[in-house]
Structure 1
Amino acid sequence: MAAAVLRLARSKPFAFGVGFSCVKTSVSDLIVQVGVERREEIDWRRNASFAAFGFGYLGIVQYTLYVPVFGRLFPGAAAFAAKPLRDKLADPKGLATLAAQVFLDQCVHHPFAYFPAFYATKELVTRGNVELALSKWKENFWADLQALWQVWVPATILNFAFSPMWLRIPVVASTSLLWTMILSTMRGKTHDVEQGVAVHSDILLEEGEVEDPILGAHVSARTMELFRKGLARRNTSAETHFVVTASGADRVGLVNKLAHRIYEGGGSIAESKMMRIEDDFTIVMHVTAPKGTSLKSDIMDFHPLDKLEVRAREVGVRKDKPVARLRLTGKDRPGIVFEITQIFTSLGYNIDELNTDTVPGNWFLLELFASHASFQHSSSKDKVLLETKLNQIQTDLDLKLDLSWVKDH
């Protein structure tokens, strides 16, 4: 079977590369939806969009770049890849050609072509717009590149150094699929968000800010963050967990000073959420530290110096999991949060996480309200009633609601 696949890849490299990339991207999204987002029902529209992205960009565009374009720009690339390792190391011209290919791919192609297409596809799938996609691309530019290079510079060196031209696209697709599976495994077992701690304060960034190895997890700043958090939490039995809150008059350097105090005390900031209202600053952090640490007293001693009201309390690791997640948008009006949470509360659901935000309107756009929340319940017997009530309030308040169920654990 493997031999037949390789023969097909060698005899029809373009068709195989495009098809493989299409299937890989579809499978990657399915892994994310099932293993990371814990969806009970697959969003096939989204999956089809990503499959199309894999077919068009990852397949056609990247194949064109890596094979015919690089083949013409670097005519000795194929011969270099076929050489034994000892001969490669003794070939300075071939090594220079390899370095040039990696540079063009990682410093030109990815930052200025792949990532804009990456963000544009995500926005179109979530009914956003290209202008917002370009804004995110610019905002995350350097962070995305640093994360990308940690995985893809060594992966690309190995690919371009050892793979024949016809195998380049399948190797790229397989590497990104492996990355998706690693994220899904680590994220699916650690459940950072399901421990009830908000990851990001800007809820106008799609739900993917919490669940965003989307698009097959071609390494970005967000997916690298998920990976590191998952790696850091493989063993939490020897850790103490704290909730730290700090508030006071806003001024430059407060977060840096507080983070430095936590670092000096041996602590690590697992999650944080900051808000500034007018001249007032507030931050909430989930901090972990080795058992027996004096971190709590170290943090509490911070506020006399900078006139911050700082509190730190030890908490246990959450065991229960949210069973429902809700995302909503609509025209801002008083009482939306009350009426939505009243429905969940009346049916016995506990609010695990709640983020809200408003976008100011102008002369042709109304003020927009957006929220993302997760809820926990000991059973799922009230699913139908909950969905019925939410459908009714969606009509009454003219909201767009998206309710998703987390699979039972």
Structure 2
Amino acid sequence: SERVGRGREIGAEAARQPTAASLRGCAVVRRRKETMPLGVLARVARTHPFKFGCVFSCAKTSFSDWLVQTAVERRERVDWRRNGTFALFGLVYLGGVQYTLYVPIFSRLFPAAEAFAAAPVAAKLADFAGQRRMLAQVVLDQFVHHPLAYFPCFYAIKELVNGGSPMDGVRKYQKNMSEDLVALWKIWVPSTIINFTFMPMYLRIPWVATTSLVWTCILSAMRGGSDTFETDPEVAEEFFGNQGRARLRMKLTHPAAERTSLYNSADEHVLLTVTGHDRVGYINELTAEVVTCGGDILDARMYKLGGVFVANMLVAAKPDSMTKMLKSLSDLEGMQVNVQKTQPWLESDASPEEAELHFNATLHVAGPDKEGIIERLSAACKESRVDIGQLSCALEWHRSADGVFQKWCAIKGSVRAYEDIDEGALRRRLTAVEKDMDLTVRLSVAES
């Protein structure tokens, strides 16, 4: 009986040992998995984590930009220069800089981080020291890295794309910092906890990029097909970064929301600049032609400039009516028509109409006509971070006290600022212009 029992034990042990055939079968299955697309990606990510993270982030950022331009901003043509700039940002910063932070630096600061991520869930729950190390990584990333490095770099790059300077971008970040960081933490603190708890080192960057891509797709789906949301390029551009503001602002709760119902994105919109010699019936002839062809005048500015009458009009029409209207306007006698296609539901970074107005004033300037007056005035405003909302200039004959007539320049404009400015510095700059060019300059600040 002992021999029988022993024989059974030996037989059971032999059954537990893998045979050569079973080992060959496992190897075949493994090879098949590694040759499948996902298996190939996983193998590349393990063997070349830095290169994979850079390329993945670059592709994700480029695709996100394309998606935002086509689905959110509804651009007729993709701005590939902008796309390439943000793709480069994804390659260098999101892939390279963040990989260096998340893997080599965090691995040295927290040597047990990789082991904690690879441990089973039950072991993680019992490893309080590991949980503290994970939270320390989250704090360094979300409360040190992003406020002090990521956002300044992102705003600087975005401002360069828009034709500004990096310091302009940093100033915008200082203004938006509180809102940006709150929105960032709502989404990315939970995502970063998951990343540092479960992702192996080589998948940390792909996880961040994938999460961002999913979020961008959701935003694009929500905003791309809804007429109750107004596109904001500044917000849209910030989806390219894997963090950004990441929030959807409903325009019906903002002062500029009423524009959503005014502009129908299904129509074509053009900005018409029409010039010609002034005569009785000029405006009626022009507007009647627009209306007859099915056009709708949404906004207009008309004035006489140097003996020429100028009409600027924002006109909307159905695509078939627009073609007919533009052909008809080009045939008007004595009028020269310039056409520029536009999408007025897209806001401009240069004039943030939703932002709170911190400074609003009227500028009056009068004096002998000289070269460079408007240039000097605009430079004083620019250096003071003040935006010129409107400006009109007229020449007239002015009789001096001794009876001599001379050309006189009269300028009136409105200036404003959407951030706190040094009003005293603005007045000192205007006073310098006043003295240098023998002008009278008056700045009347509106009551808030």
**TM-score of the pair, normalised by structure 2:** 0.54
1:379 maps to 319
2:39 maps to 3
The residue type equivalent to 2:136 in the other structure is A
Question: Residues 381 and 402 (structure 1 numbering): CA distance in 2 closer, same or farther, change over 3 Å?
Answer: closer
> Which of 216, 233, 242 is 1:208 aligned to?
233
1:224 maps to 247
> Which of 32, 51, 56 is 2:68 aligned to?
32
Query: 1:70, 1:101 within 8 Å by CA — same for their partners in 2?
Result: yes
Measured on the aligned residues, the alpha-carbon RMSD in Å equals 3.9
> Which of 112, 115, 119 is 1:76 aligned to?
112
The residue type equivalent to 1:162 in the other structure is F
Question: Residues 285 and 86 (structure 1 numbering): CA distance in 2 closer, same or farther, change over 3 Å?
Answer: same
The residue type equivalent to 2:120 in the other structure is P
Pairs within 5 Å for 1:261-300: 270-273=252-255
1:20 maps to 56
The residue type equivalent to 1:270 in the other structure is L
Pairs within 5 Å for 1:259-408: 270-273=252-255, 320-324=264-268, 348-350=294-296, 376-380=316-320, 382=322, 403=342
- Deviation by residue 1:369-406 (Cα, 9 ceiling, x = unmatched): xxxx986422256369869x99xxxxx99x9x784599
% identical aligned pairs: 43
Question: Following the alignment from structure 2 to structure 1, what is the Cα–Cα distance between the partners of residues 115 and 225?
Answer: 44
- Count, aligned residues: 279
> Which of 86, 94, 99 is 2:122 aligned to?
86
Query: 2:271, 2:315 within 8 Å by CA — same for their partners in 1?
Result: no
Question: Following the alignment from structure 1 to structure 2, what is the Cα–Cα distance between the partners of residues 48 and 125?
Answer: 10
Question: Residues 404 and 94 (structure 1 numbering): CA distance in 2 closer, same or farther, change over 3 Å?
Answer: same
The DSSP-based 3-state class of the residue aligned with 1:216 is coil
The residue type equivalent to 2:73 in the other structure is E
Question: Following the alignment from structure 2 to structure 1, what is the Cα–Cα distance between the partners of residues 300 and 157?
Answer: 25
Is there any run of 5+ residues in structure 1 with no aligned partner, and where? 200-206, 230-268, 274-283, 287-315, 329-337, 357-372, 391-395
- Deviation by residue 1:37-73 (Cα, 9 ceiling, x = unmatched): 1112111111111101101110111111111111111
Question: Following the alignment from structure 1 to structure 2, what is the Cα–Cα distance between the partners of residues 343 and 161?
Answer: 68
Q: Is 1:65 the counterpart of 2:101 in the alignment?
A: yes
**TM-score of the pair, normalised by structure 1:** 0.59
| The structure with more radius of gyration | 2
Q: CA deviation at 1:134?
A: 0.9
Query: 2:238, 2:244 within 8 Å by CA — same for their partners in 1?
Result: no
The residue type equivalent to 2:265 in the other structure is K
Q: CA deviation at 1:29?
A: 0.3
1:186 maps to 222
Question: Residues 3 and 121 (structure 1 numbering): CA distance in 2 closer, same or farther, change over 3 Å?
Answer: same
Question: Residues 92 and 129 (structure 1 numbering): CA distance in 2 closer, same or farther, change over 3 Å?
Answer: same
Q: CA deviation at 1:110?
A: 0.7
Query: 2:65, 2:240 within 8 Å by CA — same for their partners in 1?
Result: yes
Is there any run of 5+ residues in structure 2 with no aligned partner, and where? 1-36, 273-282, 302-312, 331-335, 346-448
The DSSP-based 3-state class of the residue aligned with 2:224 is helix
Pairs within 5 Å for 1:109-128: 109-128=145-164
Question: Residues 319 and 137 (structure 1 numbering): CA distance in 2 closer, same or farther, change over 3 Å?
Answer: closer
Query: 1:74, 1:97 within 8 Å by CA — same for their partners in 2?
Result: yes
Q: Is 1:136 the counterpart of 2:172 in the alignment?
A: yes
Query: 1:323, 1:405 within 8 Å by CA — same for their partners in 2?
Result: no
Question: Residues 97 and 349 (structure 1 numbering): CA distance in 2 closer, same or farther, change over 3 Å?
Answer: farther
Question: Residues 318 and 71 (structure 1 numbering): CA distance in 2 closer, same or farther, change over 3 Å?
Answer: same
Q: Is 1:148 the counterpart of 2:184 in the alignment?
A: yes
- Deviation by residue 1:238-284 (Cα, 9 ceiling, x = unmatched): xxxxxxxxxxxxxxxxxxxxxxxxxxxxxxx82322xxxxxxxxxx7
Question: Following the alignment from structure 1 to structure 2, what is the Cα–Cα distance between the partners of residues 115 and 9?
Answer: 27
Question: Residues 111 and 325 (structure 1 numbering): CA distance in 2 closer, same or farther, change over 3 Å?
Answer: farther
Question: Residues 374 and 161 (structure 1 numbering): CA distance in 2 closer, same or farther, change over 3 Å?
Answer: farther
Question: Following the alignment from structure 1 to structure 2, what is the Cα–Cα distance between the partners of residues 224 and 172?
Answer: 17
Question: Residues 285 and 180 (structure 1 numbering): CA distance in 2 closer, same or farther, change over 3 Å?
Answer: closer
Pairs within 5 Å for 1:85-104: 85-104=121-140
1:175 maps to 211
Question: Residues 7 and 380 (structure 1 numbering): CA distance in 2 closer, same or farther, change over 3 Å?
Answer: farther
Question: Residues 13 and 402 (structure 1 numbering): CA distance in 2 closer, same or farther, change over 3 Å?
Answer: farther
Pairs within 5 Å for 1:226-241: 226=249, 229=250
Question: Following the alignment from structure 2 to structure 1, what is the Cα–Cα distance between the partners of residues 57 and 238?
Answer: 15
Q: CA deviation at 1:327?
A: 9.6
Q: CA deviation at 1:319?
A: 10
Question: Residues 182 and 285 (structure 1 numbering): CA distance in 2 closer, same or farther, change over 3 Å?
Answer: closer
